[in-house]
Amino acid sequence: MPHDPAYGSIVHWRRSWWNGARCEPILLTLHEGRLRATDRAGHELFAVPPGQVAGRLSRFGTLLLDVGGQTFHLVGRGGAQAPSPTAEQQRAYADFRARHPEPAPTDRPGLVDQLVNGAAAWRMRRWRDALRAAGAGVAR
């Protein structure tokens, strides 16, 4: 991984365990020593150095991040009732990806994760690994 890794994707912030409509897409980027999250309205949820982030990956593929005392439950795919990413989020992600091409993955999603969950748990494992490589306190 390069010295200053650039990684980004649209993930979903699970704001409620029970209400799928409250699973909001956010643009999450790691670049220039900052982890940033932007919501559907374009508001920045956080922009912090990775060293100020702690967390862990659950066995079900939820990345639990503690950022400034707030815990964010992030998943690789929203439920059927979750809103879609906005056109602005999709444009911002496409712009980010155009400036920072993603290296080819060295691993593949598991068959069950791929078929049942659209490889969502694999995507969150990749986020965990990228955050660990950038210095975040994210447990294995």
pLDDT (0 to 100) of residue 87: 96
Q: How far is CA 67 from CA 37, 83, 138, in A?
A: 11, 24, 11
In this structure, which topology does domain 7-138 adopt according to CATH?
PH-domain like (2.30.29)
What distance in Å separates the CA atoms of residue 79 and residue 117, rounded to the nearest whole number?
Answer: 10
pLDDT (0 to 100) of residue 12: 94
Which residues of the chain are under the pLDDT cut of 50?
1-2
The pTM for the full model equals 0.85
pLDDT (0 to 100) of residue 56: 95
Q: Could you tell me which of 100, 110, 116, 118 has the C-alpha nearest to residue 11?
A: 118
pLDDT (0 to 100) of residue 1: 40
Domain ranges of the chain: 7-138
pLDDT (0 to 100) of residue 52: 96
pLDDT (0 to 100) of residue 17: 74
